[in-house]
Amino acid sequence: MQADAAARDGQPVLFAVMAMPRTGSSLLNGMFRAHPDAYVHGELFNPRGIENHIREEFRAQADMRLRETDPIAFVRAAFAFAPNGERVRGFKHFHSQSVPVSDWLLASGEVRKIILDRENRLAMYASSRLAKDTGVWNMGAHAPERRLAALRQTRTGFNPQAFRRFVARMDAIYARYAAAKGPVTRITYAQAALGETAAVHEFLGLEPLDLPPPKAKLHGSDIIGRFHEADRPAIEAVLSDMGREDWATEPV
């Protein structure tokens, strides 16, 4: 495979997880980040929380101004940096954080793309709203059960028009991802959540490790139940109209 060929040639294997928020990207990227043969960042272009996304060793020597003035050069600098000579280097990217970077990655023949999608758009929408409402985007795998229980009791509102716009926007972004050039593989939220990641590890030439999940699942499988009960009829009507009654639940 191409990753093995790159390793034999002594060339680094470069990759980007192409995703959008609430698709399991922190879970998947966390697996790569924990691998000793990989040097992996979070979201290089997250507008907040740089310390949580861009690794300290790189930040200490990088020209961080390039994030704004020349984002492609910043990505190249990140790919070139591996403090312990790690062979596999990458980060995760959301199209909305930098469209020029997204377009460059999708057109690149040298960067491997892992496209991570969550087909259940209602689950994405609910998870995004709850994260914004509570300020909790992720919790570690060993988060106190009391905190998780309190979080799972939170409910959010539903706006039919806003949801339809959300679905259209996600579908348009993933259509762009689907047109990616060069080496590409795909994985779903369900596969990542179930630990079915051997294929994407192989895609990067990494040996899968038996590691505990880096993140806790924040909410249950009843997706409609994440909204206020008064919104249930409107949600069911929209799902019926879209022919996506299956989005009412998500098994994993």
> Cα separation of 91 and 101, whole Å?
12
**pLDDT at position 136 over 80:** no
Q: What pLDDT sits at residue 131?
A: 87
Mean pLDDT of the chain: 91
Instruction: Report the predicted TM-score, pTM, of the whole model to 2 decimal places.
Output: 0.89
> Cα separation of 103 and 98, whole Å?
9
Q: Could you read off the pLDDT of 26-79 as tens digits, one per residue?
A: 999 999 999 999 999 999 999 987 998 999 999 999 999 999 999 999 999 999
Task: Give the domain range for residue 46.
Answer: 2-248
Residue 104 tokens, joined: 């460059």
Phi, psi (5° rounding) for residue 66? -65, -25
In the block, tokens 């992720």 appear at 138
- Cα torsion angle, 3, 90, 102, 119, sign: positive
Q: Could you read off the pLDDT of 67-114 as tens digits, one per residue?
A: 999 999 999 999 999 999 999 999 999 999 999 999 999 999 999 999
Q: Could you read off the pLDDT of 190-232 as tens digits, one per residue?
A: 999 888 999 999 999 999 887 766 555 667 789 999 999 999 9
Contacts of 222 (CB under 8 A, 6+ apart): 248, 249
First to last CA, the chain: 31
Asked if 92 and 161 touch (Cβ cutoff 8 Å), the reply is: no
Number of structural domains (the chain) is 1
CATH of the domain at 116: 3.40.50
In the block, tokens 């505990």 appear at 212
